[in-house]
Amino acid sequence: MGIILTLLFYTVKMSTPLLFVIMGGVFVQRAGVFNFALESAINSGAFAAIAVTMATGSLMAGIIGALVTCVLVNMFFALFTVKFNAHPTVVGMAINLMTAAIIPYLMMALFETSAVINVTHIIDPANVPVDVPILRSIPILGDIFNKQSPLTYLSFLAVIVLSVVYYKTDFGTHVRLVGDSQEAAEAIGIKVNKIKVLALVISGICCALAGMNISVESLGMYTLNISASRGYICLSAINCGRKEPLKSVAFGLLFGFTKALQIILANYVGSTIASSLEALPYIMIIIVLVATELPAVRRNPMRIFAK
C-alpha cells in the first residue's frame, strides 16, 4: 500500500507541468493553431525564472521574468503564424532550435557557465512543499496530495478554471468556433486573429508556470534542456484527448504516472536498467498514440491497408 501511495504522490508531482501546458495548449489547438513551440516556451520560462532570480536575488522578479518571457516567445510565434500565416510546425521548430542556441549563450555571457545555474541559496526546494492541515487529516488523499508544491495545487485549480472558461464563456465558444471554421467565425463578427493571440497568451502563461515548477520548485536550478521533451509529450496528450481539456488532462496524468513509475522502479534495479527506464515515458507516448489513432485510421475509407 505504501508503494502505491508513493507512486500516486509522484504521479501528481510529475503531472504538474504537463497539466499547465496541456490546458494552455488546448486553447491554442482549438483556435486552429498547432503550437509546436511549447518546448521552447517551457525551457524559456524555466531559464528566465532562475536567471532573473539569480541576477536580482528576488523570486518575485523571477516569476515576472518567466511570465513575460514565455508570453514574448508565444507572441513571436504568433507574429509568423497568425499575422504572416506561416506554417506553424516550421516556425515552432525554428523557435525551438533558436532557443536551444540562445539559452546556452546567455548562460555563458551572464553567468559564465554552460551547464547549471544554481539558486538553491535563494530558493530551497526542500522548503517548497506545503503542509495542508485539512489534507493531512484525510486518509489516502492526504498521502497523495498533501505536501505538494504550491504550483501543483494551482495546476489542478487551473484545470478547473480554464475548463469553465473553455465550456461556459463566450471566449471559449469563440475559440471552438474559430477552430471549427474561421470563415463562419468571421461571418458573425469574431476577430479570428485576436482569439488566436489571446489563446497563445494563455498558453504562454501556462508554459511559464510549468517552467517555474520544473526549475524553481523541483530543483532550484536551471540545466540545459530542462523540459526534457515535455512540450512534445503535451502535444501528444492534446492530440490523444481530441483537443478536449479533461480528456487531454487524463492523458497528461497517464504520462505523469509513467514518469513516476520510472522513478519508483529506478530505486529497485541496477544503474544500467535504471538508465534504460528513462525511456519509459516516451515509449508510453508511442503506445498511447497508436492505441488512440488506430481506430480512427481503420474507419478511414481511404486507408491503404486491408481490414
pLDDT digits (tens, 9 = 90+) for 52-61: 999 999 999 9
The count of other CB atoms within 10 Å of the CB of residue 93 is 15
Is residue 173 predicted with pLDDT exceeding 70? yes
Q: What is the pLDDT of residue 287?
A: 86
Residue 289's pLDDT band (cuts 50, 70, 90): confident
Phi and psi dihedrals of 244, rounded to 5?
-100, 135
Higher model confidence: residue 18 or residue 291?
A: 18
| Share above pLDDT 70 across residues of the chain, in percent, rounded to a whole number | 95
Task: Give the chain's mean pLDDT.
Answer: 92
The torsion defined by the Cα of 199, 193, 94 and 213, in degrees rounded to 10, comes to -10
Total number of domains in the chain: 1
Per residue in 19-48, pLDDT tens?
Answer: 999 999 999 999 999 999 999 999 999 999
Is the pLDDT reported for residue 1 higher than 70? no
C-alpha cell of 123? Answer: 530558493
Does the residue 38 lie in any domain? Answer: yes
Confirm whether 54 is domain-assigned: yes
pLDDT average, residue stretch 89-111: 95
In a domain, 124, yes or no: yes
Answer for the pair 28, 206: CB distance below 8 angstroms, yes or no.
no
The residue among 180, 188, 198 whose CA lies nearest residue 243 is 180
Report if residue 273 sits inside a domain: no
pLDDT confidence band for 71 (50 / 70 / 90): very high
200 domain-assigned: yes
Asked if 119 contacts 50 with a C-beta cutoff of 8 angstroms, the reply is yes
Is the Cα torsion angle 154, 159, 164, 165 positive or negative in sign?
A: positive
pLDDT of residue 296: 67
Domain of 90 in residue numbering reads as: 2-228
Residue 303 falls inside a structural domain: no
Residue 50 inside a domain? The answer is yes
* Euclidean distance between CA atoms 67 and 142, whole angstroms: 31
What is the pLDDT at residue 306? Answer: 47
Domain assignment of residue 220, yes or no? yes
Q: CA-to-CA distance for 289 and 36, rounded, in angstroms?
A: 17
Q: Are 201 and 24 in contact (CB under 8 A)?
A: no
